[in-house]
Amino acid sequence: MSDVNISKLKGIVGDAYVIDSPSEMAKYLKGQGKPAVVVLPASTSEVSSIVKLANEKNVKLGVGGAVVDTQGITGGIAMVMSRMNRILEMDHLNLVAVVEPGLLHKDFILKVAEAGLNFPPEPYVIETSSVGGCFAIGDSDSKSFEYGPTRTFLLGFEMVLPTGEILEIGNKCIKNVSGLDFIHFAVGSQGTFGIFTKLLVKLLPVPEAKKAVIGTFASMHKANATFNTLIKRNVHPTRMNLINASLAKIAKPGTEGQLVIIDLQGFKESGKNIANEVASVLTLGGGSDVKIIEEGAEYDQVINGWLKVRAELNAKPSEIVEFVVGPMKMPQALSQLEAQTGDLGAYPGIIVEGLLGYVCLALPEGTDKLALARKVNKLAMSLGGNVKGLLGHKLKAEVYNDAEMWKQTTSLLSELRQQFDPKGILNPGVSLEA
């Protein structure tokens, strides 16, 4: 028996937006949990009422843009934000937008582009990612070297706290140090501090020009060596990415070998020279089919190919290991990695974001993820990096043999979480223990 009060939920959002038949619920859910109900609120006050209702009976609540992760919310409520999908304001003078969290990230990018502006963060999973999710995950991506990570683009928000209270913070100023920086601290908190109901987003002017240079390489290592050459030559493109042979076919059908994508945004007059320089570095480095792409549709195709690969990897977090090293240390990282994994070209998947020194490795079926992550972390640490995120911290503490530090970190994290969500209601599936 679940404690969810379906009729009260219907009273809040209307009958049509409370779904409790398992077959109809399925399209809103992912994962193994079995929530009792899916609810689709249309406004902040509805979100707040739902959260308050959940509080009365201590019902667990999971939140998602288009799809909710059901982990930890069996018998509870899955809240889907997709009806809250309006752009409330597009302010050209201040280069900001006010947007609701349920708007799909890809649709937001389109609308922003139509307005002649730019929202740089890449969609995490193209088809389902929402703007709310973008900031709840708060990642960096292959454009972050130039534009900064996702958090850079949040100036404020409205949020329903785990107690149902509504919190508003931030303003249209691009510089603001008033109070503690809860604005940026909330980015990446995965819905544990609260549910975003409005986002005040910073935008940029559209880059004056866009070009890409692509090339294919028989060897992963040779491809990667060209990145070091570019960095040494003081060339810092917008993206400098590498996709191994098995994934390259998804990014650009027909590709044989490893695909290198160099993206150049901005660089209005200089773009031609830089593109030529990049093209010669790729060619001299052993690349074939090296091509400078200037035409808009073809450029978009290349970038969308990249996003598609990225989305496939992001969709399976339990089947990937992600790590970072100093960008110039990447050649060593890949050689040492290969010693552990065997031929990287043949691996199910590996991508490199060269400017960030980031690697995402898709694991063959049956791999012991933790064991591999442990090895990879050691390797990465010797090259100025670590496995990404919370898991990386745990493994780092292991290497330092510093259980105390790990304990301190997790107890601080859980104290923070508890301060905001004393009953542990919101997104209980999110673990802060790695």
Partner 1 sequence: MLSQAVVKRLKEIVGEKNVVTDKVGLLTYGYDGTLLSGEALGVVSPTTTEQVVEIVKLMNEQDIKLVPRGAGTNESGGTIPSEKSVVISFTKMTKIHEIDTENFVAVVEPGVINFDLQVELAKKNFYFPPDPSSFKASTIGGNLGECSGGPKCFKYGVTRDYMLGLEVVLPNGKVIQTGGRNFQSEPGYDLTRIIVGSEGILGLVTKVFVRILPIPRAKKTMLALYDKVEDASQTVADIVAAGIIPTTLELMDNLLINTTEDFTHAGLPRDAGAVLIIEVDGYPEDMDGQVKTIGEIASKIAKEFKVAQTAVEVDQIWTSRRSAFGSVARVRPSYGVNDITVPRSNFPKAIGGVLKVAKDFGVTIGVVAHAGDGNLHPLILFDQRNKEETETVHAAEQALCMMALDLEGTISGEHGIGLVKKKYLDKEFTPAAMEAFRKIKRSFDPSNRFNPGKIIDL
315: contact with partner 1 by CB under 8 A: no
What is the Cα–Cα distance from 332 to 316, expressed in whole angstroms? Answer: 27
Contacting range for partner 1; rule: CB under 8 A; set: 30-38, 122-130, 286-294, 400-408: 400-408
* Given 72, 132, 138, 428, the residue binding partner 1 (CB under 8 A): 138
DSSP label at residue 161: -
Nearest to 96 by CA among 124, 118, 114: 118
Residue 30, beta-bridge partner list: 69
3-state secondary structure of 152: helix
Nearest CB to partner 1, comparing residues 264 and 344: 264
Using CA atoms, how far apart are residues 266 and 26, in angstroms rounded to an integer?
43
144 binds partner 1 (CB under 8 A): yes
Q: Report strand pairing: 18-19 vs 204-205.
A: unpaired
Q: Any contact of residue 113 with partner 1 (CB under 8 A)?
A: no
Q: With CB under 8 A as the contact rule, which of the stretches 125-133, 216-224, 338-346, 412-420 interacts with partner 1?
A: 412-420
Choosing from 357, 362, 425, 427, the residue that interacts with partner 1 (CB under 8 A) is: 357
Least Cβ distance, residue 201 to partner 1 (angstroms): 14
CA atoms of 123 and 106, how far apart (whole Å): 6
Site for partner 1 contains 185 (CB under 8 A): yes
Per CB under 8 A, which region of 25-33, 246-254, 308-316, 405-413 contacts partner 1? Answer: 405-413
**Does residue 318 bind partner 1 (CB under 8 A)?**
no
Query: Does residue 377 interact with partner 1 by CB under 8 A?
Result: no
**Interaction between residue 24 and partner 1 (CB under 8 A):** no
Q: How far is the CB of 194 from partner 1 (least distance, A)?
A: 9
Element spanning 360, H or E: strand 358-362
DSSP labels, 285-312: TT-EEEEEE-SHHHHHHHHHHHHHHHHH
> How many residues bind to partner 1 according to rule CB under 8 A?
81
From 27, 57, 86, 236, residue interacting with partner 1 (rule: CB under 8 A): 236
Q: Is there binding between residue 174 and partner 1 (CB under 8 A)?
A: yes
Residue 83 CA to its chain's centroid (Å): 22
Bridge pairing between strands 154-160 and 117-118: unpaired
CB 382 within 8 Å of CB 326 = no
Does residue number 266 form part of the binding site for partner 1 (CB under 8 A)?
Answer: yes
Site for partner 1 in 378-397 (CB under 8 A): 384-386, 388-390, 392-393, 396
Interface pick for partner 1 out of 15, 181, 295, 298 (rule CB under 8 A):
181
CB of 374 to partner 1, least distance (A): 16
Q: How far apart are CA 393 and CA 257, in angstroms?
A: 34
Taking CB under 8 A as the criterion, the residue among 16, 177, 297, 371 binding partner 1 is 177
The tokens describing 353, both together, are: 């974001």
Cα gap 142→153, rounded to integer Å: 15
CB of 197 to partner 1, least distance (A): 13
Told to check if 310 binds partner 1 by CB under 8 A, we report no
